[in-house]
Amino acid sequence: MRKYYAASLIALSLLGVSCNRFLDVKPKGVIIASNINDFDALLNSADLINNSSLVNPMMVTDDIVDVTFNPSNQQSASGNVYFWHPYINASAQSPSIWIDYYNAIVNMNVITEGVMQATSGTEQKKKQLYAEALVSKAFSYYQLLTFFSPGYGKGTAHQVYGVPYMTSTDISQPTPARPLLDDNLKLIIADLKRAVTDLEYVTPNNTRAGKSAAYALLSRYYLYMQEYQLAMDYADSVMKDERLYLLDYNNYLKTPLPNTTVSPEEIYVRYTNNQTYRYSADLLQQYDTATDLRIRLFAKRNTTGDTRILSFNNFLSYNPNRGITYAEILLNKAECLARLGDTDAALDIVNTIREMRFKPKDLQRLSANTAAEALTLVLVERRRELAMKGARWGDMKRLNQEGRMPAVNRVAADGITVLGTLKPGSLQYTFQIPLQVQAFNKDMPLNQQ
């Protein structure tokens, strides 16, 4: 009987032993997958669903402020991310966001290599697990691309590099070359389109990928690539799933929100353990903090009583989804409509969201005279609704490509002293390939710094 091996992988620097030159990881224990339940278990892995590296896409954005960091003495990976330093880890150790997501990709490759030869299970079930693995890989690649590849531009995507595209579980194989960004995205999108055909709408819970998760990722990728009609088409495909809808936050002022793994407004759940983040002053200015139920439900006063800074406040049984939400898909469609000139339809979607986020007496419906005004309103609502959900860095990257991102400042505890700035068009929007990976791959193209 042929057996398929997956590795639970950890960093070289933690072991002090040799490892795969590309991944900068080393197997730690071996999982043998041979029957359908073994492959299914890989998709339920806690490391896959609860990934601490999802902290990075929040620490890098303009949504949070952390007054404990100081660039003169902050050498942690989180500090380097927060100040947009070229190397997330200045030592030989590769950063967790690189290691964790390539670990996830390799483990999903165990499924794509082996599940069709599994010793049990129907052909349909095998194809479904294969398709789920493709969706999981596409999610991981999105995180890697937004950190380690330049933002997508229609005129430059064939000139800049993406991230190595892994298809094997054999970590002794030579390093895959960095494909051009355009080619990289074509490979990932092809995987998602293949996955759709073998997925069901209904899944055991929201951590598992169904058709809607694949459609949602296609919408996200096409929005990132400025393909607005296609992004809207795939958003429409998600919206056909009648199991998905927005929760009316008016109904949860005294009742806990449902767990994200079963909530109807979550599509694909990925989370970190409950953590607290301070909203930036800039983000808070986007809310009516007195009436917006998103502030009432998810924020609390800072312990110092500072009314300018609020802290992200998770319920005991509630982990915020940093995968893909139904609201993100609605906002994808609204943005595409605004960009394509359909002002009224764009704001109809935005106002539908707002109806679920304000008491009726406090609701102010938004309107615009032009598509440009509508787009601005959509983008602001997108920021409010998706705050702390892990989508902002990708949005910042793509908005920077079209000159819509202002300078972002990191300020000291006094709220005035500027410690660092991410300027419009800055090369700091792209982190460098890790040093350890460079050391073993002398010919790998590096990002411009």
Q: Are residues 327 and 236 in the same domain?
A: yes
Residue 411 resides in a domain: no
Q: Are residues 20 and 102 in the same domain?
A: yes
Residue 423 resides in a domain: no
Q: Are residues 439 and 340 in the same domain?
A: no
Per-residue model confidence as pLDDT tens digits over 204-229: 999 999 999 999 999 999 999 999 99
DSSP code of residue 418? E
**Residue whose structure tokens are 């082996």:** 114
Residue 425 resides in a domain: no
pTM of the model: 0.92
User: In the predicted model, what is the mean pLDDT of residues 333-360?
Assistant: 99
Q: Are residues 319 and 446 in the same domain?
A: no
DSSP code of residue 150? P
Instruction: With cut-offs at 50, 70 and 90, classify the pLDDT of residue 350.
Output: very high
Residue 415 pLDDT exceeds 90: no
The secondary structure of 274-326, three-state, reads CCCCEECHHHHCCCCCCCCHHHHHHEEECCCCCCCCEEECCCCCCCCCCCEEH
Residue 417 resides in a domain: no
User: In the predicted model, what is the mean pLDDT of residues 259-283?
Assistant: 88
Residue 181 pLDDT exceeds 60: yes
User: In the predicted model, what is the mean pLDDT of residues 117-124?
Assistant: 94
Q: Are residues 262 and 251 in the same domain?
A: yes
User: In the predicted model, what is the mean pLDDT of residues 62-75?
Assistant: 77
Phi, psi of 27 (to 5 degrees): -60, 140
Instruction: With cut-offs at 50, 70 and 90, classify the pLDDT of residue 90.
Output: confident
User: In the predicted model, what is the mean pLDDT of residues 126-150?
Assistant: 98
Average pLDDT of the chain is 88
Residue 113 resides in a domain: yes
DSSP code of residue 258? P
Q: Are residues 142 and 251 in the same domain?
A: no
User: Across-strand partners of 88?
Assistant: none
User: In the predicted model, what is the mean pLDDT of residues 256-279?
Assistant: 88
Q: What pLDDT, on the 0 to 100 scale, is given for residue 274? A: 60
Residue 271 resides in a domain: yes
| Percentage of residues in the chain having pLDDT higher than 70 | 87
Instruction: With cut-offs at 50, 70 and 90, classify the pLDDT of residue 17.
Output: very low
- Taking alpha carbons only, the member of 314, 327, 291, 322 closest to residue 388 is 322
Question: Mapping DSSP to helix (H, G, I), strand (E, B) and coil, where does residue 411 land?
Answer: strand
Q: Virtual CA dihedral for 137, 391, 381, 397, nearest 10 degrees?
A: -110
Is pLDDT larger for residue 254 or for residue 74?
A: 254
> Which of 28-37, 328-337, 408-417 is least confident?
28-37
Q: Taking a C-beta distance cutoff of 8 angstroms, is the pair 49, 107 a contact?
A: no
Q: Virtual CA dihedral for 135, 164, 387, 190, nearest 10 degrees?
A: -30
Q: Are residues 244 and 163 in the same domain?
A: no
Q: Are residues 222 and 173 in the same domain?
A: no
Q: Taking a C-beta distance cutoff of 8 angstroms, is the pair 51, 100 a contact?
A: yes
- The CATH number of whichever domain residue 173 belongs to comes to 1.25.40.390
Q: Are residues 399 and 436 in the same domain?
A: no
Q: What pLDDT, on the 0 to 100 scale, is given for residue 56? A: 87
Q: Are residues 117 and 176 in the same domain?
A: yes
With a CB cutoff of 8 Å and minimum separation 6, the contacts of 230 are: 218, 222
**C-alpha–C-alpha distance, residues 218 and 240, integer Å:** 15
Q: What pLDDT, on the 0 to 100 scale, is given for residue 30? A: 45
Residue 23 pLDDT exceeds 60: no
Residue 326 resides in a domain: yes
Q: Taking a C-beta distance cutoff of 8 angstroms, is the pair 98, 105 a contact?
A: no
**Residue whose structure tokens are 């460079």:** 438
Report the interhelical angle of 371-385 vs 343-355 (nearest 10°).
30
What total number of domains does the chain contain?
2
Neighbours of 341 (CB within 10 A): 13
Q: Are residues 303 and 389 in the same domain?
A: yes
Q: What pLDDT, on the 0 to 100 scale, is given for residue 173? A: 75
Q: Are residues 341 and 387 in the same domain?
A: yes
Report the interhelical angle of 36-43 vs 96-114 (nearest 10°).
160
255: containing domain: 200-405
> Which of 208-212, 396-400, 438-442 is least confident?
438-442
Residue 345 pLDDT exceeds 90: yes
Judged on CB neighbours under 10 Å (0-12, 13-18, 19+), 390 is buried
Judged on CB neighbours under 10 Å (0-12, 13-18, 19+), 316 is exposed
Instruction: With cut-offs at 50, 70 and 90, classify the pLDDT of residue 278.
Output: confident
| Percentage of residues in the chain having pLDDT higher than 90 | 69
Residue 33 resides in a domain: yes
Q: What pLDDT, on the 0 to 100 scale, is given for residue 11? A: 29
Per-residue model confidence as pLDDT tens digits over 33-45: 889 999 999 999 8
Phi, psi of 205 (to 5 degrees): -165, 180
